[in-house]
Amino acid sequence: MAKIAFFSTQNYDRRFFEDNTGGHTFEFFETRLKPNTVKLANGFDGVCVFVNDGVNEQVLKALSEINVGLVALRCAGFNNVDLKAAEKYNIRVMRVPAYSPEAVAEHAVALIMSLARRIHKAYNRVREGNFSLEKLSGFTIHGKTIGVIGTGKIGQAFIRIAKGFGAEVVAYDKYPNENLKKSGVEYLDFDTVLERSDILSLHCPLTPETHHLINRESLAKMKEGAMLVNTSRGKLVDTASVIESLKNGHLGSLAIDVYEQEEKLFFRDLSDLIIRDDQIAQLMIFPNVLITAHQGFFTTESLREITSTTIKNFDDYDAGADSDNEVSCSLIKDC
Ligand code: NAI
């Protein structure tokens, strides 16, 4: 049985994994895995990390020096792991490739509907006894064009819901999906999706190629007044350009569940501190911006799925078995 050190542990991680150890032994650390915390993994077979643990070459080298052979991600994205270095130091990397993609897709839709109908404003207004409708006028999603960037598991779940609204769906993916084409999804080049979309939702992974996919140039190609939704990874979007576009009135509204500098903020209660990140502070006061703190995945169903798949990953590692959940340079495109 494997001995695993958990990093970036939240109460809910502890609760779910303590209820379902699969016979493995766990120790839970709240700190992120980084060069100056890696020594905590001494004596363990593997580490279990989340989206903002920085598993770079320095960390992987240090892990190999203390004979840690597994990095198990409690998430799908693996942009925070240097896979080339993992291969070099002979460390296996496993992830949870799918845990209720519908959860993230539904969260994206919740953000869209809140912004479109100004629910975030109306909620506060009614609580204060203000029943006026002034400045709450929204827009109908039916008949609008929704652009989807990345038509993998989450993108597809999102498209199913978008179609239910009676919206026209256009998509861009580096590797278009033939079945989706047959089902009537119109694939276009990236620029045309930007030009056509009233709502643009990002569902592609963060790679060197997609870093700042949404920047000053791409924002300029978007329809005036369009809504941008990012539930994928913060660094897909150049925050400074988005702020500029919101300020000059070109971008109509923004919904984000992920943020470029989220490592310094998200998953922590900072309510009694001064937020030193000027960009998020600015976004927080815009009336047409809605921010959630990386909660797209956060449903009971997803947490169950994450736990059971991660335990299976520990089992496979312990048994030296092959795993479909393993990510390595040789297995993925764009390493
Ligand atoms: P997936 O691997 O099933 O789909 C990703 C799609 O993006 C694929 O179809 C791929 O071909 C496409 N793609 C790759 N490079 C591209 C490029 N340069 N341009 C356009 N498309 C490209 O992944 P899945 O499960 O749909 O997840 C998508 C992303 O959602 C993850 O990478 C992760 O960053 C994010 N995520 C966010 C969560 C949250 O809580 N907010 C939870 C889970 C995932």
Average pLDDT, the chain: 96
Q: How far is the CA of 39 from the centre of ligand 1 (A)?
A: 32
Is 80 exceeded by the pLDDT of residue 205?
yes
pLDDT band at 334 (very low <50, low <70, confident <90, very high): low
Reported as a single tens digit per residue, the pLDDT across 298-313 is 999 999 999 999 999 9
Q: What is the pLDDT of residue 333?
A: 67
Terminal C-alpha separation, the chain: 31
Reported as a single tens digit per residue, the pLDDT across 107-127 is 999 999 999 999 999 999 999
Pocket test for ligand 1, best of 12, 51, 104 (most atoms within 8 A of CB): 104
Q: What is the pLDDT of residue 232?
A: 97
Evaluate whether 3-99+300-319 and 101-291 have a shared fold.
yes
Reported as a single tens digit per residue, the pLDDT across 126-169 is 999 999 999 999 999 999 999 999 999 999 999 999 999 999 99
Ligand 1 site, residue 294, Cβ cutoff 6 A: yes
- Which ligand 1 atom is the nearest neighbour of the CA of 231? 41
Summarize the confidence of residues 294-300 as an average pLDDT.
96
**Phi, psi (degrees; rounded to nearest 5) at 62:** -65, -40
- CATH number of this structure's domain 3-99+300-319: 3.40.50.720
Is 90 exceeded by the pLDDT of residue 335?
no
241, 233, 228, 229: which is closest to 266 by C-alpha?
233
**Other CB atoms within 10 A of residue 175 CB:** 8
pTM recorded for the entire structure: 0.93
pLDDT band at 210 (very low <50, low <70, confident <90, very high): very high
Summarize the confidence of residues 210-225 as an average pLDDT.
98
Ligand 1 site, residue 159, Cβ cutoff 6 A: no
Ligand 1 site, residue 27, Cβ cutoff 6 A: no
Going from N- to C-terminal start, the domains of the chain cover 3-99+300-319, 101-291
The residue assigned the tokens 């032994």 is 25
Ligand 1 site, residue 252, Cβ cutoff 6 A: no
> What are the helix (H) ranges across the chain?
11-18, 57-65, 83-88, 101-117, 119-127, 153-164, 178-182, 190-196, 216-221, 239-247, 278-285, 300-319
In terms of CATH, what superfamily is 101-291? NAD(P)-binding Rossmann-like Domain (3.40.50.720)
Is 90 exceeded by the pLDDT of residue 202?
yes
Q: What is the pLDDT of residue 184?
A: 86
